[in-house]
Structure 1
Amino acid sequence: MGEITRIWPFRSHGSRPAFELTIREPPLTGDHLGLKTWGSSYVLAQLLPRFAATSFSHLFPLGRTEPSVLELGSGTGLLGMSAACAWAASVVLTDLPAIVPNLAHNADRNRDTVESLGGDVSAAPLTWGGSTEESDARFQDRHRFKLVLAADPLYDDEHPGLLAGTIHSQLALDRDGRALVMIPKRDGTTHRLMSSFREAMSSQPSPLLCVEEGVMPGRDDWGEDDDEPQSIDCWWGVFRRRQCVGFL
């Protein structure tokens, strides 16, 4: 499929108004899966207001600056930009260097919308487990983000460990830090990768445990037959440091 542009609508929640994001999706070539918007990104994006009012309420008290947010494997940037809009937060979108030009294009295209809602967004390369040359210099300053987001991030046997290690290195070490991850349960492979990811999270030097989880219905529209989107269950999990369990 060639290049397309899609508009993604988001409903109003409480005092937050409705908004739309315009996303460019270049032709899908080779292994560059991040050039397309996968269904779980939109599913998770629509849940963000709920998380702000529940699981992350300690990070969004009235009169306090919203937390710094990092999205890993941003792809086209839909999830991270929706977080900037829904949360009025500063969000850094990241992906492999080859994906970042389109990611930056989408960030620039939607900047007026994001800023009108009190948010801020930027795009930068970040390769999980890669050398410093493959990632922006800002990520050398470890443990600086209060919230880390990732949707549909696992495609290879190495990904669970690499993703868990990157979350550990970037997520704040204090008791407030949270990671929110969504993984579509497509088949036996994705179930296995999800299990490996949870094990890798708990095996980090400062272990990250899943303290809340659930499943939401979604669909993939970039399968073998684009005319027949596939319905899938999307698992989500909220993680925090083990030493923080028992605190709010």
Structure 2
Amino acid sequence: MLRRTRLGLQYSLLVQYDALCLSSAMFDAGHRSEAVRIANAIFVLLGPDMRNHKSVLSQLGVLDGQLTVPSTADSRGPHGTALIAVEATPYSTDDGQGGYFIESVPFGHEPLSAGRRLPVPDWWNEGVLSGIGATTTLTRLQVVRIMRDQDGGAHLDDHIKDETYLAVYVKGTGFLYKPSADSEVSLPVEGALEATVRQMAHEVLNPMRGLAHSARHALREAAKTGPLYPQYFELDPATPPAQS
């Protein structure tokens, strides 16, 4: 049986880091469906250890109480929506009509400098998103697992049972708007889960840049000694000997 070497784990870190950067850029260019891939990359990089999962940073020993992640959560956000805001973009048509395009947007990278820094477990467990009628607040971990485990980041559930997720997905997060001045109904602002995941990427990329730089340097140095791929794995000494 083979196991990944430290160099192999650093290569895996770069794969997920680059995926996170690329999906974030695509999200910012308007491809909001990239949120599921952002969620998956974040989870693979530093998700909590579970029965069938051990993150890249955990295997590298980076999560042994030293790494902190900035939190841009704003407790003043309405209805517990702590990582996103609502943006109203005006538009007009050729016939003189117009209105506003309403959407949930992440806070962006500016709040990083003023935010708190949290140990990784505390960062995962901080509540960041509530839905209309929800009795609980989704933590970052719950948001990521919803996007990753239920919305197609890693697999797609055919039934959705999480009450808080349904409150966010169906009813919105407390941000309501009227599509026109004479409208009698209010509609929920959509995209809160996606925008929350994108803001989480802003937070995660902050400490990850230094780790990615170190990993790239390690791969460059290793390339001087020979082909890289054979250096990514080694025989696990715990593997029992083959029976003759």
TM-score (norm: length of structure 1):
0.27
Structure with higher RCO (Cα < 8 A, 6+ apart): 2
Larger helix fraction of residues: 2
Structure with the higher fraction of residues in strand conformation = 1
Which is greater in Rg? 2
Q: Scaled by the length of structure 2, what TM-score is found?
A: 0.27
